[in-house]
Structure 1
């Protein structure tokens, strides 16, 4: 993480939450993570919350803090320790967490649709080498500070949403070895082909596999539908605003003219 980004986040942390509030929230966050996952290796069971000293959670395995004497979580790095279950709960309570590494575990099931609301300040997200499935949420693009997204070696399917490439800080993106299909969005062509391989249904640059015409046509239709729907909404709004007396409404089966404005 760049020094200036860390400074901004640290400033936000200090200015927008009291020490007591931040401490209690982050402790609740870790308790929720611990309670929502199976832990065959017992790593999370070693987290002992029967403590009231400053910074005690900073000594937990995998927990990084903003300051060793404050119970505020900077990052969770719990890769390759055999954790099992769905995506963990309660992460939104770690309000200023910037790094989340759960790679090399046995997570399964989909990612939350609104995952970005749980990780507002995340810069590093590594969920690679698990068994996560379903579509990759387009809302990840709303993670304003995200610079690294590692989702390789999972079971994600469906297409890659073009919005994902619009994350302004994204410098590393990897979805290799999943079950994704369709064209690679133009917004992601800047990443190497190796980061998309292992998805038999993916096509288009930077991969060597060309897309079928049906794929490209569907892609254009989807884009055109979005543009057309937006234009139609705007046109309808303008007409309703300037010519309200011209609108025709139906009451049951009998049409009649209804004046909206006097």
Structure 2
């Protein structure tokens, strides 16, 4: 607690952005962040080991042999809360030629608020427990990769999220309707881009005010702000057709029955008239 108090007092005069300080204050009041320095270092080690780095960008820049205060803040693509403390504010790993599956170990970057993986060659599904790994993200940019499968529904639990960019991947399925929650929480999602994927179905109501360009390139995606979804009347018309068919069948059966009686009666009468003279002759 002494370290926590001194950290806040020292930071109060260095922070220029009041909102930034407020978010940091909320983060530091969570007991799991008391050892964030060691956790953040472990986070970056795991990220470095879990991705394929053909250009050796992370391998050459992320040197963990240095143990001075704030040494990770000099790493490529790493932004810290403070220059002299090893607390990751954001990871900007875009345009580094990285490959492989989604990076691992992010749960140890407990105070991270921004993450960008754009313009790389990452592939495979996004982790299903993503919201629990990095719950305090305000921006998440996964655009221009090859991420596949469906969009994790639990992203809707990321209450601080402002920006979500999933453009130009291979995501399929529907946009989770749970994303409506992202407009009713602290983050207030202000930018949402899923263009150029394989998504289908109606767009949830939360996204109706976004630009249609953010949804273009999904052949089976429909609804505002795109074209209206086609209406299917199959289920509504089916009982009507059945009822009409039943009515017509009943009428036809009744008419047929009456005609049959008339023909039978006429035939019977006709035969009776022909037989009567014979009876009298006998």
Name the counterpart of 2:143: 128
SS in 1 for 2:221: strand
1:51 is the counterpart of 2:66: yes
1:138 aligns with 2:153: yes
Counterparts in 2 of 1:216 and 1:107: CA distance versus 1, 3 Å = farther
- After superposition, residues 48-127 of structure 1 pair within 5 angstroms as 48-127=63-142
User: Larger C-alpha radius of gyration, 1 or 2?
Assistant: 2
- The CA deviation string for residues 102-139 of structure 1, in whole angstroms up to 9 with x for no partner, is 10000000111111001111001000000000100111
Which residue of 1 is the match for residue 213 of structure 2?
A: 194
User: What displacement does 1:9 show?
Assistant: 2.1
Deviation per residue, 1:34-71 (Å, 9 max, x gap): 00000011111021100110000000000000000000
1:58-89 per-residue CA deviation (whole Å, 9 max, x = no partner) reads 00000000000000000000101100011110
- Cα distance in 2 for partners of 1:78, 1:61 equals 8
Alignment partner of 1:179 is 2:193 = no
Q: What is the count of residue pairs matched by the alignment?
A: 215
SS in 2 for 1:74: strand
Measured after TM superposition, the shift of residue 10 of structure 1 is: 1.1
Query: Does the aligned pair in 1 maintain the 2:33–2:111 contact within 8 Å?
Result: no
Residue 194 of structure 2 corresponds to residue 148 of structure 1: no
- Deviations along 1:166-224, one digit per CA (max 9) or x if unpaired, are 2131000000000000111112112111100000010111102x31224998xxxxxxx
| Cα pair distance change 1:97/1:188, threshold 3 Å | same
Name the TM-score, length of structure 2 as normaliser. Answer: 0.72
Look up the match of 1:9.
23
Q: Which runs of 5+ in 1 are unaligned?
A: 218-262
RMSD over aligned Cα atoms: 2.1
